[in-house]
A and B are shown apart, each in its own frame.
Chain A
Amino acid sequence: GENVEQHPSTLSVQEGDSAVIKCTYSDSASNYFPWYKQELGKGPQLIIDIRSNVGEKKDQRIAVTLNKTAKHFSLHITETQPEDSAVYFCAARGTGNQFYFGTGTSLTVIP
């Protein structure tokens, strides 16, 4: 099955700086890569996603890049704000409609 690895596990940035979280996957058949934000005590919420036929996608301060050849994708958050502090998960949709998640990155934005 698919194996998704996520780094770093924790990340602290100053408010206004950028944050980058990286994930790798193993199954070349995976075709959809979402990123989720999870706040304490809540379920994950989709913040951005990318399909395998696209290399980059942006939504205001958030962007995702995908390198299919290297099998890695990254989340970029610019101009970070304290409300960006949360746990972020990457995921890959493999065969059979199954999703495989990374182990999460705890992001802290220091005011």
Chain B
Amino acid sequence: NAGVTQTPKFRVLKTGQSMTLLCAQDMNHEYMYWYRQDPGMGLRLIHYSVGEGTTAKGEVPDGYNVSRLKKQNFLLGLESAAPSQTSVYFCASSYASGGAYEQYFGPGTRLTVT
């Protein structure tokens, strides 16, 4: 199993450009998440999904959109990139079993917006 994969690994955008980050998981997990990680701030939840066709806002959703058309994929879109969106983005997926919700993280995407 590949676990959680993210595409691309690195990207540089100019202000105003758009892009889509792809997350894929092969563990048949119901839940998927997008986080951003900034120095000194830990991980902050952007959007998440509790199942195919569903999405919900997290702590910091502004400027991002998501879609979960297939259970194994979760896409994060930036319609008009801003320098404040320079960050490392992590996708995660999880199951729900007996009250435990272990999250499996991807390797991350480093995004720079100039």
Check B105 for interface membership: any CB of A closer than 8 A. Answer: yes
Chain A residues bordering chain B, tally (CB within 8 A):
28
Q: Which B residues are CB-close (under 8 A) to A93? A: 101
Asked if B31 is an interface residue, CB under 8 A from chain A, the answer is: yes
Write out, one digit per residue, whether chain B residues 95-106 have a CB within 8 A of any chain A CB (1) or not (0).
000011111111
Binds B, one of A13-21, A40-48, A76-84: A40-48
A102 to B59, CA, bound (A): 14
Complex contact A51–B106 (CB within 8 A): no
Instruction: Give the A-B contact count at a CB cut-off of 8 A.
Output: 62
- Measured CB to CB, the closest approach of chain A to B59, in angstroms, equals 7
Interface size on B, residues (CB 8 A): 27
CA distance A99 to B58 in the complex (A): 9
Q: Mostly helix, strand, loop or mixed at chain B's interface?
A: strand
Q: Does A73 contact B (CB under 8 A)?
A: no
Residues of A within 8 A of B31 (CB): 97
List the interface of chain B (C-beta within 8 A of A).
4, 31, 33, 35, 40-45, 48, 50, 56, 58-59, 90, 92, 99-108
Closest CB pairs A-B (n = 6): A43-B105, A101-B42, A101-B43, A103-B42, A44-B105, A51-B99
Interface residues of A (CB under 8 A from B): 1, 6, 9, 31-32, 34, 36, 41-46, 49, 51, 53, 89, 91, 93, 96-104
